[in-house]
Amino acid sequence: MELILNRPLQWFVCQLHANELPLRHLLAHVDITTTGPRSLTGEIRKPLTGCEKLSVVSSTPIENTLCEVSNKKDLSTDQLYLMEICEVINCCHCRESMSKINPGKVCHSRWLRIANRILRFNAAHENSSEALLTLTTFISKVYASM
């Protein structure tokens, strides 16, 4: 494209928006039964709306490595929740206060919140489906570290 225009191209995009593309693709691939990108009708998507009411149980830990944050005050509420729920998934131990935190309402423009809800939903299931484990592993190892 640069050769056709005869000038360099620049791409300005928010990193959170760039990160959502692989998550959206994986969710669409794994959770096939849906009526569209804005609906929560799949096997995994539908129960996400009430995941904060489920109690946290111990499950198989998924090792993840999060980058160190020097000042957590710079992070949004959703980013802080992602860090904390990834720690829960990593060590399979959840503080009672963490289990009471609401991951926020489902909002299709906020894929970080949907990722948080998927992790919270997984933390409430001892025997997760293969699709849910695939999503949880991707979010905790790849999406959260971006």
User: Where do the domains of the chain lie?
Assistant: 2-144
User: pTM value?
Assistant: 0.73
Read off the pLDDT of residues 24-58 as tens digits, 9 standing for 90 and up: 888 888 876 655 555 556 777 777 777 778 777 77
Indicate the range of 2-11, 32-41, 125-134 predicted with least confidence: 32-41
Concatenated DSSP letters for the chain? -HHHHTS-------HHHHHHHHHHHHHHHHS---SSTT---STTTGGGGGGGGSPP---------PPP-S-GGGS-HHHHHHHHHHHHHHHS---HHHHT-------TT-HHHHHHHHHHHHHT-SS--HHHHHHHHHIIIIITT-
Read off the pLDDT of residues 60-93 as tens digits, 9 standing for 90 and up: 778 877 777 778 888 888 888 888 888 877 876 6
pLDDT higher than threshold 70 for residue 134: yes
pLDDT score recorded for residue 39:
57
pLDDT band at 123 (very low <50, low <70, confident <90, very high): confident
